[in-house]
Copies of this chain bind each other. A is one copy, B any other.
Amino acid sequence: MSDELARQLAAIVGERHVQAGGDIAERYRIDISRKYSSTPAFAVRPGSTQEVVAIMKLAHAAGVPVTAIGGQSGTCASAVPANGGIALSLERMNQVLEIDRLSMTMTVEAGCILQIAQEMAEAQGALLPLDLGARGSAMIGGVIGTNAGGNRVLRWGMMRDMVLGLEAVLADGTVLSSLTKMLKDNAGYHWKHLLIGSEGTLGIVTKAVIRLRPLPTSRQTALIACPSFEDAIGVLRGLEVTLSGRLSSFELMWGDFYEAMTEAQLEQRPRPMPLGHAFYVVVEAMGGDEESDSAQFERSLMTLVEDGKVVDAVIAQSDAQREAIWAVREDMTPGLAPRRPFSSYDVSMGVGDMPAFVAAARANVLAAFPEAAMLFYGHAGDGNLHAILSVGETSKDIQRSFDTAIYDAVRQVGGSIAAEHGIGTTRSAYLSWARSEAEISLMRTIKAAIDPTNILNPGKVLAPLA
């Protein structure tokens, strides 16, 4: 059968776009974490939606699993194909098809790299607001499939909020096409919202219309220190008023995270601010009126200093200073090196519930591992925290203990086990920590209705039934 399938796939996409068995390149089998890999039967690179349709009809008839492969920058194995299945890479479908400057939209194929789409928008005076560390490898289809977040969610939302139109191919090869440019549309059920964030389990996204924004022309960045969590949130709420819609980032770091990262970076750059504060925050705003925006930014921070909510503040006066401030938060490789192997988490909750979560998580972890090292930081304006845990070694048991410690704390505050990285297979066993039985049962009903033979990325999001 496999030879026959190989022949049929080659007939659809051309022989040089089919790889089989041991000849399959690593990028179709392994994700960026290198923790997850598999042995798919084929890797296939279609060049058009019609070719995706033909592949899906073939796979549907043969009952062969299909997994859409993006940039493999996810970290929970969502896009690691099934053993014996088809790895479907849309890398050849990588064109920006249109930028409509009046409607402020971009129509783009799913295989386009995020950074290329960003740059194409910028060249037209427009902003594609989604931004994340993996911008150079993540594909549009991938950031839709995982409903990616990143550093600017506070102002412009997640990928879900930017997808206006969508074209997708269902398990049986049906094309759903709604490449519309509407910001408002209440004509029937919003199937696009089912596909966004479904990690390729309900359909293969082939094209999308993305909402752009006029490119901001001014940017203010500061590092500030706050004496308490409540003060930090007070600063957030204050800046949301005074800077109004301009506030675009509010990245919170616990004091020990700041110390660990800046300590390891000392060879590259001096610490932008002394140690010793309870919380540090990278604050950024964007606008269109440099002089007035800068003055307002400074005045807003000054008021918060007078109120005692901010105890130290450094405002970037140049791009180099801006980069140095962001590096504290983003250049994490040196700081993490001595902590390897570590486990990382991406959880969310109500903004006000973050201290209760961190307290519970610390207590749970220390109860299991009194010597554990823990670092907390995250997109606090979104209630999204990341945690890094390490004990100097790793094993399945250690991993499971860490997972339980963190997800129990999440459950205690009614939070989510996956804020932006998704479920994949690594978190599917914990879905019931964040979702009730009735919710999971509804998800299974939806999956069974849309993909009755379960060939679309099987086993991801929803764990196989025992």
Contact = CB atoms under 8 A, between A and B. Distances in A.
Interface of A: 100-105, 146-147, 149, 153, 155, 157-158, 160-161, 170, 174-191, 193-194, 196-198, 202, 213-217, 230, 233, 237-238, 240-247, 286-289, 292-293, 295-296, 299-300, 348-353, 379, 382-384, 414-423, 427, 431, 434-436, 438-443, 445-450, 461-462
Nearest to A184: B419
A449 B184 CA distance: 26
Contacts of A353: 103, 181
Contacts of A243: 288
Nearest to A248: B245
A323 to B, nearest CB: 23
A262 to B, nearest CB: 27
A237 B182 CA distance: 16
Chain copies in the assembly? Answer: 2
B435 A187 contact: yes
A384 B196 CA distance: 24
Contacts of A146: 186
Given A146-B186, A189-B194, A216-B241, A442 B446 contact: no
Interface centre among A241, A289, A423, A436 (most CB of B within 10 A): A241
11 contacts: A102-B230, A149-B184, A149-B186, A157-B157, A176-B438, A184-B379, A186-B418, A187-B416, A190-B197, A289-B299, A446-B450
Given A242-B289, A414-B180, A161 B157 contact: yes
Given A180-B416, A186-B146, A414-B180, A442 B191 contact: yes
A149 to B, nearest CB: 5
A379 B183 CA distance: 11
Contacts of A461: 188-189
A184 B161 contact: no
Contact of A102 (B179, B182, B350, B450): B350
Contact of A104 (B185, B237, B287): B237
A103 to B, nearest CB: 3
A196 B193 CA distance: 11
The 7 closest A-B pairs by CB, nearest first: A245-B245, A102-B352, A181-B350, A241-B288, A103-B350, A193-B193, A449-B449
Given A103-B352, A240-B213, A383 B188 contact: no
A287 B383 contact: no
A176 to B, nearest CB: 5
A422 B186 contact: yes
B182 A352 contact: no
A182 B436 contact: no
